[in-house]
């Protein structure tokens, strides 16, 4: 069960890039895979929630200015007809620093199979340390 949904999310992640500097996120493809009223919570707990395609488009463009070499690497996956949950070991270059990071991502799908909610569970204190930002000053340590 859920193999079609797992492939859909794998295709969604492939649209972010293959880990090379030359491959940029395909923002329009990414947005086409999300419902009109989709929401993305960038990190749990406490991260911002971006709602709606236009706000998501703005955020995706912002992220392409600070992050390159994106690559989503699936470690484990669990799915149903309406949900895909992944353990991932992703890589990116953020503000010029190589930033491997571990996370769990949860995708809830609508009746059309599009992403309606997306949450990422990751340790922002670890990620900000790799970027070179003080996590306490940035407000990421609780």
Q: What is the pLDDT of residues 13-57, one digit of tens each?
A: 999 999 999 999 999 999 999 999 999 998 888 889 999 999 999
Residue 141 pLDDT exceeds 90: no
Q: What is the pLDDT of residues 95-110, one digit of tens each?
A: 888 988 899 999 999 9
What is residue 130's predicted lDDT score, i.e. its pLDDT?
A: 72
Q: Using CA atoms, how far apart are residues 87 and 77, in angstroms rounded to an integer?
A: 6
Concatenated DSSP letters for 25-80? P-HHHHHHTEEEEEEEEEEETT--EEESHHHHHHHHHHHHHHEEEEE--EEEEEE-
Query: Could you give the C-alpha distances from 97 to 4, 36, 93, 105, 131, in angstroms and in order?
Result: 35, 33, 5, 23, 6
Q: Give residue 54's Cα distance to chain centre.
A: 17
* Neighbour tally for 104: CB within 10 Å: 15
What is residue 139's predicted lDDT score, i.e. its pLDDT?
A: 47
What is residue 138's predicted lDDT score, i.e. its pLDDT?
A: 46
Banded model confidence at residue 116, pLDDT cuts 50, 70, 90: very high
Domains of the chain: 3-134 (3.10.450.50)
> Percent of the chain beyond pLDDT 90?
68
Between 82 and 138, whose confidence is greater?
Answer: 82
Whole-number mean pLDDT of the chain?
A: 89
- pTM confidence score: 0.86
């Amino acid at each position: 069960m859920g193999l079609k949904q797992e492939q859909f999310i794998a295709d969604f992640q492939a649209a972010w890039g293959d880990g090379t500097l030359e491959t940029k996120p395909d923002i329009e493809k990414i947005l086409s895979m999300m419902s009109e009223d989709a929401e993305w919570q960038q990190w749990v707990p406490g991260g911002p929630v971006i709602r709606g395609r236009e706000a998501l488009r703005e955020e995706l463009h912002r992220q392409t200015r600070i992050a390159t070499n994106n690559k989503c690497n699936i470690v484990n996956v669990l799915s149903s007809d309406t949900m895909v949950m992944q353990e991932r070991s992703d890589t990116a270059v953020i503000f010029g620093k190589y930033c491997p990071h571990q996370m769990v991502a949860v995708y809830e799908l609508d009746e059309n199979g599009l992403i309606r909610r997306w949450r990422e569970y990751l340790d922002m204190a670890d990620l900000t340390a790799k970027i070179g930002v003080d996590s306490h000053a940035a407000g990421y340590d609780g």
